[in-house]
Amino acid sequence: MALPQYSLKVPVSQLQLGMYVCELDRPWEGTPFLFQGFPIQNAHDLRTLQETCEFVWVDRRQSHTVTPLSASLSAGAQAKTYAVDYRDEVKTTEPVWREARAVSMRMLDAVKFGKELDVGEVRRAVGECVESVLKHPAATLWLARIKQRDHYTAEHCLRVSLYAIALGKALGLLPLELEELGVCGMLHDVGKIKVPDEILNKPGRLTDEEFRLMQAHTTYGYQLLMANSEVPPAAVDVAHTHHERMDGKGYPRQLPAHRIPFKARIIAVVDAYDAITSDRPYSEGRSSLEALRVLFEARGTQFDEVVVLAFIQLIGVYPPGEIVELSTGEVGIIIGFDAGSKLKPRVLIVLDASKQPRPERVLDLARNPLDEQGRLVSVREVKPSGAYGIDIDAYRAKGLVVPG
């Protein structure tokens, strides 16, 4: 198709009122548009374009946007690059995550069958995770949101390790300390191997005796890790103390706050966050936002306040991978945000207002999109993972195709 040199290819997520559309990415026939070339005059035009096309060509000479066209498009181009880079980052970090997951499963198996724990292997996997978190923090945390029910404990250990590394970095720990913290995360729950599955996976309330056995995973973990001279002392300590509380009411020893190591305070926070946001036999996973609220409310009593506040800052209100319902009723997955727009994320819309699947499109809330009534589109509600049957992992596998 021959296009005039003054036309610009623009993804529909970056269209603005006043832009003059001179060509579509498909034949005009079969689209709802009467004229083959028109200015975008209202939210309805904008929405129809976004629902019909992935990108269009805009005639620069005939466009009259509020912000200069070049400025708005170069900002848009940056956003696009960010999204594509993000996809690449996920591709780069995924093998690291897969390997670490395999190590986590092998590690638990070894403990289960009474074999020697290969601490060197755990260290190596964690070392790669540290590198990944330092280089690609957003993509690594996105991977931490992938959850498969059947390997809960192994994946939980890995996710706790990844979150802990990211949080440790935010709290100013040095790379070597981050590695040690990551190992603490991987090993914090090994004692659960000695707790019967019927108790770990019991759908209802635990009896007092069952609860006591469950709590004993801290002591089991301590004993198991103490027996291996390769395990760093910090990891032995964390396995023992990650359920102690700042108000001295934790278990197994009801330690006062000053005796709870800093690394255990970090693991306690990320451990609780992952448990609250995961589906368990006894409770459905809750949204990230709800989990952060629970942590915030328990700051100072159960958890270290400084650690909780740093974690809330790190995860943010709208972390990538979270499912959100918009004010339009549409449902999408958060795929990122630009620096400075943490409260206005980019959303990959996957369901329409009646919650039916629709061709995916990216809506960047930082660009203040309007709905049909001309109102600003916003996030109405953050949903728990798996809401409406949306499988985030399937979208990740598809590479989160971003138009443009």
Nearest CB to Fe ion, comparing residues 268 and 334 = 268
Quickly tell me which residue has 């129809």 as its tokens: 48
Nearest CB to Fe ion, comparing residues 189 and 244 = 189
Report the alpha-carbon distance of residue 312 to residue 290 in Å, rounded: 11
Q: How many residues does the chain have?
A: 404
Least gap, CB of 125 to Fe ion (angstroms) = 20
Question: By rule CB under 5 A, what string of x and - marks binding of each residue 176-195 to Fe ion?
Answer: -------------x------
Nearest CB to Fe ion, comparing residues 264 and 292 = 264
Report the alpha-carbon distance of residue 117 to residue 225 in Å, rounded: 9
Nearest CB to Fe ion, comparing residues 196 and 399 = 196
Residue among 246, 256, 251 nearest 306 (CA): 246
Distances (CA, A) of 62 to 73, 128, 234, 314, 352: 15, 52, 66, 44, 32
Q: Tell me the residue number closest to Fe ion, measured at CB.
A: 189
| Pair 323, 390: CB distance under 8 Å | yes
Count of residues that interact with Fe ion, criterion CB under 5 A: 1
For the chain, what is the total number of helices (H) and then of strands (E)?
14, 9
Least gap, CB of 218 to Fe ion (angstroms) = 7
Phi, psi of 319 (to 5 degrees): -75, 150
Looking at this protein, which amino acid is placed at residue 361? R
Q: Which residues touch 133 (CB under 8 Å, ≥6 apart)?
A: 140, 141, 162, 165, 166, 169, 178
Please give the structure tokens belonging to residue 136. Answer: 């690609």
Report the alpha-carbon distance of residue 392 to residue 321 in Å, rounded: 7
Nearest CB to Fe ion, comparing residues 65 and 104 = 104
Question: By rule CB under 5 A, what string of x and - marks binding of each residue 91-130 to Fe ion?
Answer: ----------------------------------------
Nearest CB to Fe ion, comparing residues 23 and 189 = 189
Least gap, CB of 261 to Fe ion (angstroms) = 15
Region label for 86, one of left (φ > 0), alpha (ψ between -120 and 50) or beta (otherwise): alpha
Least gap, CB of 391 to Fe ion (angstroms) = 28
Least gap, CB of 57 to Fe ion (angstroms) = 56
Least gap, CB of 307 to Fe ion (angstroms) = 16
DSSP state of 14: G
Distances (CA, A) of 338 to 52, 191, 345: 26, 41, 7
Q: Return the H-helix or E-strand segment holding 194.
A: none
Least gap, CB of 280 to Fe ion (angstroms) = 13
| Pair 400, 89: CB distance under 8 Å | no
Nearest CB to Fe ion, comparing residues 155 and 189 = 189
Nearest CB to Fe ion, comparing residues 274 and 360 = 274
- Number of Cβ atoms within 10 Å of the Cβ of 122: 24
Report the alpha-carbon distance of residue 253 to residue 267 in Å, rounded: 17
Nearest CB to Fe ion, comparing residues 73 and 270 = 270
- Number of Cβ atoms within 10 Å of the Cβ of 8: 17
Sheet holding 357-364, edge to edge: 357-364, 346-351, 331-336, 323-326, 379-383
Interaction between residue 59 and Fe ion (CB under 5 A): no
Least gap, CB of 217 to Fe ion (angstroms) = 6
Quickly tell me which residue has 């943010």 as its tokens: 316
Nearest CB to Fe ion, comparing residues 189 and 371 = 189
Least gap, CB of 189 to Fe ion (angstroms) = 5
Least gap, CB of 315 to Fe ion (angstroms) = 20
Residues that bind Fe ion (CB under 5 A): 189
